[in-house]
Amino acid sequence: MYEDRGRLAALWESELEVFRAGRPRSAEQWERAVQHMPDGVPMLWMSKWPGPWPVYVENAAGAHFTCVDGIDHVDLCLGDTGAMCGHAPRASVQAIQAQLSRGSTFMLPTEDAAAVAELMSERFRVPVWQFSLSATDANRSLIRYARQVTGRPRILVHDYSYHGTVDEAYATLDEHGAVVSRRGNIGAPVDVAQTTAVVQFNDVESLERILAAGDIAAMLIEPALTNIGIVMPDPGYHDAVRELCTRYGTILIIDETHTFSAGPGGLIAELDLRPDAVVLGKSIGGGIPAGAYGMTREFAQAVRDSLHLEDIDVGGVGGTLAGNALSLAGIRATLSEVLTPEAFAHMIDRCTEWTAGVQAAIDEFDVPWQVTQLGARAEYSFRPTAPHDGREAAEADDFELQQYLHLHALNRGLLMTPFHNMALMCPATSAADVERHTVAFREAVVSLYG
């Protein structure tokens, strides 16, 4: 906990002044926008960016964007992974433009479909694929499929996980270990305890107890938590997860939407995991909406056997534009030409430098914070050691401190991922981009602890 709240409040005020002085055109845009959108933003969560109004983007390329006030930014947020491929990557843009000029949505497959399913199978180790417009929808679809083939009602998630706007995943454990709604869960359709069981990350004992009850259709997990800070798995944790899911007949879904940052085949390839189903989204489309969910042949066959052709379009898994030609063209180009193994090697090197820069400032000023790297993504948190589970990570949260650090960075032309202290590298991120953060971060630490 940062103790000197008076100092923090004063620092915040002075950064607010810098922001206001430097962003008049964004202010004009925002004044217009508040007339017709709540908080002046097209999605309400955009109002959570630090500062009195959001920054409006003029254009972006690679790891940088320029705002309407003409300020150049190093983008370490990268659309919270939606632009992990970099902004407007040439190969993806060319393929998307070419498809767009030939038509984009037909309710029929194009030649890209089989090629993309092959690419996904090679990378993420399950052989049968379906497509969606978002990772959220991919998760929702797999949850339905898992209930369908197991005949079981509940889904198991990790405490403080995030899997998109999936009703079942908005659950947490209270201090007595009971399943309750996550703070801020908007208009929950039913009591989450009816649909969901929750286990702490790395807690094998509780995991076995929950699965043994025999009512869990699917365990939906990130292989490392990335949405409450980064929480890495203990050695052997995933072996236990796999073994217990198999033993108790639960479908194991690994959501790689963010952990794809670990390498070309995500953490599945890095840790040699064997899921029954896999979810990808965000970055794979090269900047346009695309999601994907893969299954083992056995699971996919069980799903298919349970469905009648006549009802296949109205069963609750679908989306008129899902699997559209544009998304598939984007995925094909992005996986084959942008997010290549060589690109990942570069991204991970930059991230190692970024992490070292943060660690150096933490060490120099003996700050009680830690930083964790997961391939091309890294995150610092306000606790001295890496968190072991979601609850520990959540307890280290300090909203005001985080808002200050984000605004401090923004005023120096650095965009951090909102909602937490995460930075992501894309193939175009340079050593100079990373150095800009290293310098600014040290300066922020000096302002708080110097």
Counting residues that bind ligand PLP (by CB under 6 A) gives: 14
Choose, by CB under 6 A, the member of 202, 227, 261, 327 that binds ligand PLP. 227
The strand order across the sheet containing 251-255 reads 128-132, 291-295, 277-280, 251-255, 216-221, 154-158, 196-199
Q: Which residues, 6 or more positions from 441, have their beta carbon under 8 angstroms from its beta carbon? A: 357, 358, 361, 409
Residue with Cβ nearer ligand PLP (375 or 413): 375
CB 261 within 8 A of CB 375: yes
Instruction: Tell me how far, at minimum, the Cβ of 166 lies from ligand PLP, in Å.
Output: 8
Q: What does the chain come to in residues? A: 450
Identify the residue whose tokens are 């993806």: 92
CB 328 within 8 A of CB 283: no
Candidate segments 39-47, 129-137, 348-356, 379-387, binder of ligand PLP by CB under 6 A? 129-137
Residue with Cβ nearer ligand PLP (125 or 258): 258
Residue with Cβ nearer ligand PLP (67 or 424): 424
Choose, by CB under 6 A, the member of 238, 282, 350, 442 that binds ligand PLP. 282
Instruction: Tell me how far, at minimum, the Cβ of 285 lies from ligand PLP, in Å.
Output: 10
Residue with Cβ nearer ligand PLP (163 or 383): 163
Taking every pair of Cα atoms in the chain, the longest distance, rounded to a whole number of angstroms, is 69
Residue 164 engages ligand PLP in binding (rule: CB under 6 A): yes
Residue with Cβ nearer ligand PLP (267 or 414): 267
**DSSP code string of 338-353:** IS-HHHHHHHHHHHHH
Residue 377 engages ligand PLP in binding (rule: CB under 6 A): no
CA distance 170 to 320: 26
Q: Which residues, 6 or more positions from 192, have their beta carbon under 8 angstroms from its beta carbon? A: 167, 168, 170, 171, 179, 180, 181, 185
> What's the distance, Cα to Cα, between the start and end of the chain in Å?
16
Binders in 56-75 for ligand PLP, by CB under 6 A: none
Instruction: Tell me how far, at minimum, the Cβ of 82 lies from ligand PLP, in Å.
Output: 7
Choose, by CB under 6 A, the member of 136, 250, 373, 429 that binds ligand PLP. 136
What region does 177 belong to: left with phi over 0, alpha with psi -120 to 50, or beta? left
Binders in 239-268 for ligand PLP, by CB under 6 A: 255, 257-258
CA distance 256 to 164: 12
Residue 134 engages ligand PLP in binding (rule: CB under 6 A): yes
Residue with Cβ nearer ligand PLP (82 or 264): 82
Residue 420 engages ligand PLP in binding (rule: CB under 6 A): no
CB 326 within 8 A of CB 310: no
Choose, by CB under 6 A, the member of 203, 222, 276, 379 that binds ligand PLP. 222
Residue with Cβ nearer ligand PLP (221 or 329): 221
CA distance 413 to 16: 14
Residue with Cβ nearer ligand PLP (62 or 164): 164
Residue 163 engages ligand PLP in binding (rule: CB under 6 A): yes
Instruction: Tell me how far, at minimum, the Cβ of 14 lies from ligand PLP, in Å.
Output: 32
Residues forming contacts to ligand PLP in the complex (CB under 6 A) are 80, 134-136, 162-164, 222, 227, 255, 257-258, 281-282
